[in-house]
Structure 1
Amino acid sequence: MRKIDRMNPLTSVAAAAMGIAIGLLVQFYLSGRGYAPFVPPLSLPVTLVFIAAVLLVFGIRLRRNVSKGKRAVNPFHAVRLLATARAGQIVGGLLGGFGGGLLLSLLGRSVPAPVTSWLPMLLVFGGGLTLVVCSVITERLCRVPPGDESSEETDPRTGPEPVDQAAFREP
Structure 2
Amino acid sequence: MRGFERMNPLASLAAAAMGAAVGLVVQFALSGRGQAPFSPPLSLPVTLVLVGVVLLVFGIRLRRNVEKRPGAVNPFHAVRLLAAARAGQIVGGLLGGFGGGLALSLLGRSVPAPVDTWLPMVLTLAGGAVLVACAAVAEHLCRVPPGDGDEEGDAGPDPSLGPADSAAYRKP
TM-score (normalised: structure 1)? 0.88
1:22-171 equivalence runs, <5 A: 22-69=22-69, 72-147=72-147, 156-157=161-162, 158-159=165-166, 161-162=167-168
| Identical-residue share of aligned pairs (%) | 71
User: Structure 2: how far apart are the matches of 1:124 and 1:77?
Assistant: 29
Number of aligned positions between the proteins: 161
Which 4+ runs in 1 deviate beyond 6 A?
A: none
Q: Cα offset for 1:130?
A: 0.2
Contact 2:2 2:143 (8 Å CA) reproduced: no
Q: Cα offset for 1:70?
A: 6.3
Deviation per CA, 1:38-70, whole angstroms, max 9, x where unpaired? Answer: 000011001000100000000000000001116
RMSD after superposition: 2.0
Cα distance, 1:31–1:66 mapped onto 2, change above 3 Å = same
Cα distance, 1:110–1:62 mapped onto 2, change above 3 Å = same
Q: Secondary structure at the match of 2:84?
A: helix
User: Structure 2: how far apart are the matches of 1:22 and 1:106?
Assistant: 14
Cα distance, 1:25–1:4 mapped onto 2, change above 3 Å = same
User: Structure 2: how far apart are the matches of 1:149 and 1:6?
Assistant: 23
Partner AA of 2:43 in structure 1: S
Query: Where does the alignment leave 5 or more consecutive residues of structure 2 unmatched?
Result: none
Partner AA of 2:100 in structure 1: G
Query: Where does the alignment leave 5 or more consecutive residues of structure 1 unmatched?
Result: 163-171
TM-score (normalised: structure 2)? 0.87
Cα distance, 1:78–1:131 mapped onto 2, change above 3 Å = same
Partner AA of 2:104 in structure 1: L
The equivalent residue for 2:13 is 13
Q: Secondary structure at the match of 1:108?
A: coil
Cα distance, 1:149–1:37 mapped onto 2, change above 3 Å = farther
Contact 1:59 1:81 (8 Å CA) reproduced: yes
Partner AA of 1:141 in structure 2: L
User: Structure 1: how far apart are the matches of 2:2 and 2:73?
Assistant: 18
Q: Secondary structure at the match of 1:96?
A: helix
